[in-house]
Amino acid sequence: MKKSIKHFAVVTMVVAVATMGMFMTGCRNRNNYDFTIGLNQFLVFPAACDSTEGFRTRLTELMDDAGYSVNFLYQNANGDAATATTIANNFLAQRVDMMFSVGTTAVNATIAAAAGAGGTTPVVFSSASNPTASQMLHPFTTGTSDVVDMTAQVALLRELVGIPTGGFYVAYLYSSDEDNVRAQGDMLVDAAAADGITVTRHGVTDVGQVTTRITAIQGNPRYRAIFTGQDNRLGTDAAFQMIGDLNANGSRPLPIMSSFAAKVAAGAAVLSMAPCYLHLGAMTAELAFRVLVGGETPGDIRINGMRYYRSPATALDLIINRTLAESFGMTIPQRMLDAATEVY
């Protein structure tokens, strides 16, 4: 027993020396800025990266104009919840002036750490799908939500398909284990039902299942379009390219309406009316500026009676891929082309 205590002491010493060594090499001076902001991003994903980028760019601009300097500490948890907690704790230990977070799990971890620390460090979140249900609203938090108005999306679908009145079928393709796309699906189904359109859910838990889904959808003549949500699994470039290829080379190509503008540009989807995440990030930066420089309490900032920005029409981009639509033998109505932010 005595020997093991001695052993334990030696081991502790070695570990202490090793970590001290890392600490010494990692020493940096971060105190020359007016504001230091910790960015806790859950994973590398276009929407999340754009939100962070939009936030960083806009806040730097605002701070420059006001004559302040700002420093960003960027950390990405790589989809690991334990790392998200470590990052939040480290930011608090470094006494950052504010924490920015994107991705539900990282936002929750950041808020939990900040709340436990007394709620003195403000937290701003960006592009959250449901801030209320995810327990994100506290006196020290504010942010933006990427929830979009589904009624407008349904009207757009109807115009795209070219059936002015009466019912038709739309397939909603999504990852059934992602919270926001499930919620988005519910809203889409309700909004479509009000307009007489039937939306059926086609959930997958693996990218590989998309093949059977697309084949089944194309094989059923009732379907006139495919709608894909703000999906982290199907939204990756590789997965979406696969969806586009399967659809274009299938027995009956259908117009795909995506929630990501980039998929239209890449030629995988015909149309998208989606939040511009750079814009949402920039809006989050404006909230952050009001808190840091304006001295406002985050929880008191209310827009339209809500404690967070809900993605407004100004933050939505309508992107159309005319070439792809024409290769399917479809014509896009001129009114839509006029209203589009960009046409390929």
Partner 1 sequence: MSIDVFLTSIYGALGQGLLHALVAIGIFLNLRVMRKPDLTVEGSFAFGGAIAMTMLAGGSHFAVVLMIAPLGGAAAGMVTGLIHTKLKIDGIISGLLVTMALFSINLFVMGSSNISAPLDTFVNTPIRLWLVGLGMQPFNALLTSYIIVGVIVVALVITALYFLFRTEFGLSIRATGSNEYMARSNGINTDSRKIFVLVLSNAIIALSGALVVQQQSGASVHSGAGILVIGLAALVIGEVITPKKANMLIKLLFVVAGAFIYFSIISVVIISGLMSTDATRLLAAALTLIALCIPKIKQLWKDRRAYGRT
- CB-wise, 73 or 336, nearer to partner 1? 73
Among 19, 323, 327, 331, binds partner 1 (CB under 8 A): 19
* Residue number, 114 or 191, with CB nearest to partner 1: 114
Which one among 34, 49, 60, 79 touches partner 1, defined by CB under 8 A? Answer: 79
Q: Binding to partner 1 by residue 236, rule CB under 8 A?
A: no
CB of 261 to partner 1, least distance (A): 24
Listing DSSP states for 47-62 in one string gives HHHHHHHHHHHHHHHH
93 contacts partner 1 (rule: CB under 8 A): yes
Pick the closer one to partner 1 by CB: 95 or 222: 95
Q: Is 306 one of the binding residues for partner 1 (CB under 8 A)?
A: no
Contacts (CB under 8 A) with partner 1, residues 153-212: 176-179, 182-183, 205
Residue 60 touching partner 1 (CB under 8 A): no
Tokens of 1: 């027993």
Is 241 an interacting residue with respect to partner 1 (CB under 8 A)? no
- With residues binned 3-state (H G I as helix, E B as strand, rest as coil), the percentages for the chain, rounded to 5, are 45, 20, 35
- φ/ψ of 198, rounded to 5, equals -100, 120
- Distance between CA atoms of residues 151 and 95, nearest Å: 44
Give min distance, CB of 7 to partner 1, in A: 5
Q: How far is CA 271 from CA 48, 222, 341, in A?
A: 21, 20, 11
Q: Is 113 in the site for partner 1 (CB under 8 A)?
A: yes
For helices 150-161 and 179-194, what crossing angle results, to 10°? 60
CB of 172 to partner 1, least distance (A): 16
Closest distance to partner 1 from the beta carbon of 271 (Å) = 27
Cα separations (Å) of 162 from 20, 112, 224, 225, 340?
Answer: 67, 48, 10, 11, 17
The greatest distance separating any two alpha carbons of the chain, rounded to the nearest whole angstrom, comes to 85
The least distance separating partner 1 from the CB of residue 195, rounded to whole angstroms, comes to 26
Residue length, the chain?
344
Task: Return the residue of 28, 65, 313, 338 that touches partner 1, per CB under 8 A.
Answer: 28
Phi, psi for 78 (deg, rounded to 5) = 55, 35
| Closest of 261, 271, 196, 191 to residue 226, by C-alpha | 271
- Which residues make up the interface to partner 1 (CB under 8 A)? 3-4, 7-8, 11, 15, 19, 22-23, 25-28, 30, 44, 75-87, 89-90, 92-95, 104-105, 108-109, 111-113, 115-118, 120, 134-135, 176-179, 182-183, 205
